[in-house]
Amino acid sequence: MVRVRFAPSPTGPLHIGGVRTALYNYLFARQQGGKMILRIEDTDQTRFVPGAEQYIIEALDWLGIQFDEGVHLGGPYGPYRQSDRKELYRQYAEQLIRDGWAYYAFDRPEALEAKRKEYEAQKKTFQYDCTTRANMENSLTMPAEEVQRRLADGEPYVLRFKFPDNTDITVHDLIRGQVTMNSRLLDDKVLFKSDGMPTYHLANIVDDHLMEITHVIRGEEWLPSAPLHVMLYKAFGWQAPQFAHLPLLLKPEGNGKLSKRDGDRLGFPVFPLEWHDPKSGEVSSGYREQGYLPQAVVNMLALLGWNPGNDQEMMSIDDLIRLFSIEHISKSGAKFNLDKARWFQHEYFQQLPDEQVADMLEAQVKEHGIEAGRDYIVKVAAMMKERITFPSELWDTCCYFFQAPTEYDPAAVKKRWQPGMETHMAKVIELLNTVPFEYDALHQALLEDYIKGNGLNTGAVMNSLRLSVVGKTVGPDMLTLVMMLGKEEVIRRVERAIANIKN
Ligand code: GLU
Q: Which atom of ligand 1 is nearest to the CA of 218?
A: 8
User: Cα–Cα distance between 137 and 467 in angstroms, integer?
Assistant: 83
The domains spanning 85-246 and 260-349 adopt the same CATH topology: no
Other beta carbons within 10 Å of 241: 20
Closest-CA residue, ligand 1 atom 10, reads 8
**Measured from the CB, is residue 40 less than 6 Å from ligand 1?**
no
Nearest to 479 by CA among 421, 440, 452, 451: 440
The yes-or-no verdict on residue 444 having pLDDT over 90 is: yes
Question: Which class would CATH give 85-246?
Answer: alpha beta
**Measured from the CB, is residue 41 less than 6 Å from ligand 1?**
yes
Query: What is residue 4's predicted lDDT score, i.e. its pLDDT?
Result: 98
Nearest to 228 by CA among 101, 100, 392, 49: 101
- CA angle 262/267/272 to nearest 5° reads 80
DSSP state, residue 286: B
3-state secondary structure of 173: strand
User: Cα–Cα distance between 96 and 101 in angstroms, integer?
Assistant: 5
**CATH classification number, 410-501, choose in 2.60.40.10, 3.30.70.260, 1.10.10.350, 3.30.420.40:** 1.10.10.350
Q: Which atom of ligand 1 is nearest to the CA of 8?
A: 4
**Measured from the CB, is residue 204 less than 6 Å from ligand 1?**
yes
**Mutation pick for ligand 1 pocket among 204, 228, 242, 243 (CB with most ligand atoms within 8 Å):** 204
- List the single range of 222-226, 257-261, 295-299, 350-354 with lowest mean pLDDT: 257-261
Give distance in angstroms: CA of 102 to centre of ligand 1.
22
**Measured from the CB, is residue 81 less than 6 Å from ligand 1?**
no
Average pLDDT over residues 227-244: 98
Strands 190-193 and 158-161: antiparallel
List pLDDT tens digits, range 432-443. Answer: 999 999 999 999
Residues marked as catalytic: 260
Query: What is residue 406's predicted lDDT score, i.e. its pLDDT?
Result: 93
Query: What is residue 265's predicted lDDT score, i.e. its pLDDT?
Result: 87
Nearest to 463 by CA among 408, 500, 502: 408
260-349 fold: Glutamyl-tRNA Synthetase; domain 2 (1.10.1160)
Query: What is residue 250's predicted lDDT score, i.e. its pLDDT?
Result: 95
The yes-or-no verdict on residue 503 having pLDDT over 80 is: no
DSSP count for the chain of H helices, then E strands: 20, 14
Exposure string of 431-457, with b = 16+ CB inside 10 Å and e = fewer, is: ebeebeeeeeebeebbbeebbeeeeee
3-state secondary structure of 304: coil
Domains of the chain by residue range = 85-246, 260-349, 352-401, 410-501
Is the CB of residue 12 less than 8 Å from the CB of residue 275?
yes
List pLDDT tens digits, range 108-134. Answer: 999 999 999 999 999 999 999 999 999
**Mutation pick for ligand 1 pocket among 41, 205, 232 (CB with most ligand atoms within 8 Å):** 41
Q: Which atom of ligand 1 is nearest to the CA of 9?
A: 4
**Measured from the CB, is residue 285 less than 6 Å from ligand 1?**
no
Strands 215-219 and 242-246: parallel
What value does the mean pLDDT of the chain take? 96
From edge to edge, which strands make up the β-sheet containing 102-105? 102-105, 158-161, 190-193
Query: What is residue 134's predicted lDDT score, i.e. its pLDDT?
Result: 97
Is the CB of residue 463 less than 8 Å from the CB of residue 412?
yes
List pLDDT tens digits, range 367-406. Answer: 999 999 999 999 999 999 999 999 999 999 999 999 999 9
Peptide bond just before 109 cis, omega within 30 deg: no
**Measured from the CB, is residue 225 less than 6 Å from ligand 1?**
no
Q: Which atom of ligand 1 is nearest to the CA of 204?
A: 9
List pLDDT tens digits, range 457-479. Answer: 999 999 999 999 999 999 999 99
Give distance in angstroms: CA of 345 to centre of ligand 1.
29
- CA 433 to the chain's CA centroid: 55
Nearest to 88 by CA among 165, 7, 196, 191: 196
